[in-house]
Amino acid sequence: MEKVILTGDRPTGKLHLGHYVGSLRRRVELQNSGEFDKIFVMIADAQALTDNADNPEKVRQNVIEVALDYLSVGLDPSKTSIFIQTQVPELCELAFYYMNLVTVSRVQRNPTVKTEIKMRNFEQSIPVGFFCYPVSQASDITAFKATVVPVGEDQAPMIELTREIVNRFNHVYGPTLVEPDILLPGNAACMRLPGTDGKAKMSKSLGNCIYLSDTPKEVKKKVNSMYTDPEHLTIDSPGHLEGNAPFIYLDAFCRDEHFAKYLPDYANLDELKAHYTRGGLGDGTVKKLLINILEEELAPIRERRKHFEQNIPEVYEILRAGSEKARETAARTLDEVRNAMRINYFADSDLIAEQAARFRAK
Ligand code: TRP
């Protein structure tokens, strides 16, 4: 069986370091591993509209932001088809059929949807489209017969639902769709990178994000103001690692060779942590190390961004070509789905002949 990746992001803002360690970095590694036959990365503008129906301009402006973020981190259009969800209308048709295979109560149990309904104050009036987005996400994944979906853990319920839909579809209509596997980030820090304020998650509305497009000055300022350990009042006092943002970021970003380069007094992060816990290590040293490591990671991303920012028509051409490729693939799956569901009237000569005979015999 072909190995296929599909994943994507809603274009509701610029992408930040949480997205990077949670998924983007891994996508680039998978892309360059050469292990996959096809890779699709989708800008989920239709899904973004499910809770931004009254703000299409926000979605429209962020499509290009997300595309620039993708290209800057090293997604390579010669290996990865980057496309825009709404430009593949086949996905809507698939979703319409899948909706028959899912119950309302099944979607109501989805913990991510539950949280989002609370966050958006949708309790009283949930838009139908928003309620159905997990089903539409199953179309995104199955249209490409994705075998692997690299995402953060908040997306696990969507992948689970997709697998259920695949099983139900194949059971009712015959084997057609492929069951995908989720691929989660490697460690806990990557799974949920906290905001610079130490709060659980980076989020635009909390203003605690470091964006991939931030300048070196902005990154430095944000790291230097990061939440650490409020009880670590002097350098000599013992420090705590729990909830200590710079250390969690180091868990997500640093490798042993960074120490040889930037802080040779320590062999690795464990030694640095031990010193901090014991007392005698200041937050400034930790933050300086983190700034160096982030800069090493972000500098090439900024360079690539600069190139693409100067070539916006080229970026749209990449998206157009990617969408065309995605559409061909989705259309093939949709054909198979229609055949399996027996809604292929004009392509089914048996049906026509059989009915012709039946009516003639009347
Ligand atoms: N739900 C994802 C997000 O919130 C975006 C998305 C839409 C997606 N369709 C997908 C992710 C399919 C993976 C696979 O960012």
> What residue ranges of the chain are covered by domains with CATH 1.10.240.10?
216-308
Nearest to 72 by CA among 114, 7, 3, 16: 16
Residue 199 has pLDDT above 90, yes or no: no
pTM: 0.94
For domain 216-308, the CATH class is: mainly alpha
Ligand 1 atom with the smallest distance to the CA of 155 is 1
Instruction: Give the pLDDT confidence score for residue 123 in this predicted structure.
Output: 79
Give 17's pLDDT tier (boundaries 50, 70, 90): very high
Residue 171 has pLDDT above 90, yes or no: yes
pLDDT tens digits, 95-117: 999 999 999 999 999 999 999 99
Q: Which of the 8 DSSP states describes residue 79?
A: T
Backbone angles phi, psi at 42, to 5 degrees: -110, 135
> What residue ranges of the chain are covered by domains with CATH 3.40.50.620?
4-192+312-353
Asked whether 45 lines ligand 1 (CB < 6 A), one says: no
Nearest to 97 by CA among 57, 142, 52, 61: 142
Proportion of the chain above pLDDT 90, given as a percent: 88
What dotted CATH number matches 4-192+312-353? 3.40.50.620
Asked whether 24 lines ligand 1 (CB < 6 A), one says: no
Residue 120 has pLDDT above 90, yes or no: no
Q: Could you tell which of 4, 6, 7, 182 is best to mutate to test the pocket of ligand 1, judged by most ligand atoms within 8 Å of the CB?
A: 7
Give 361's pLDDT tier (boundaries 50, 70, 90): very high
Residue 164 to residue 141: CA distance in whole angstroms: 13
Tokens of 128: 């139908």
